[in-house]
Amino acid sequence: MQRLLTLTAAVACSLAATPSFAHAFLDHAVPAVGGTVTGSPRELQLTYTENIVLPFCGVRIASEGGGAVPAAKPRLGAPNELVVKLGHALKPGTYVVSWHVVSVDTHHTQGTYKFTVAP
Ligand SMILES: [Cu+2]
């Protein structure tokens, strides 16, 4: 029975994973994915394609050289949006954002993107 339930869940998920209903992928971010901003942002906003479960979500920010940027724990700006307040202003340079989330359908996704702070 347990096995049948597992199989049913797997089939349901693969059926659900069509382009119209996928896991929580990053839809857009501020600063924008691959974008350049003038001056340091105070916070990052990451908006997902599905609602997410905050206790299982995390975001790390590092300079391209690898140094971690201190940041607050993410909070929800909306049911599908993480907001991360930065611990200090970012110097000009390129930064790497690494995120992982769990969507309300319990699936885990993760990814990275970069943005640049112009001088
Ligand atoms: Cu899913």
Q: At 49, which amino acid appears?
A: T
Q: At 73, which amino acid appears?
A: K
Domain residue spans of the chain: 22-118
Average pLDDT over residues 4-28: 60
> Hey, which bits of 1-119 come out as E strands?
26-30, 36-38, 43-48, 58-63, 75-78, 81-85, 93-102, 108-118
CB-CB contact of 59 with 46 (8 Å): yes
Q: Yes or no: is domain 22-118 CATH 2.60.40.1220?
A: yes
pTM for the full predicted model? 0.81
What pLDDT band is residue 35 in, cutting at 50, 70 and 90? very high
Rounded to the nearest angstrom, the distance between the alpha carbon of 5 and the centre of ligand 1 is 17
Rounded to the nearest angstrom, the distance between the alpha carbon of 19 and the centre of ligand 1 is 11
Quick: pLDDT tens for 40-67.
Answer: 999 999 999 999 999 999 999 999 988 9
Percent of the chain whose pLDDT exceeds 70: 82
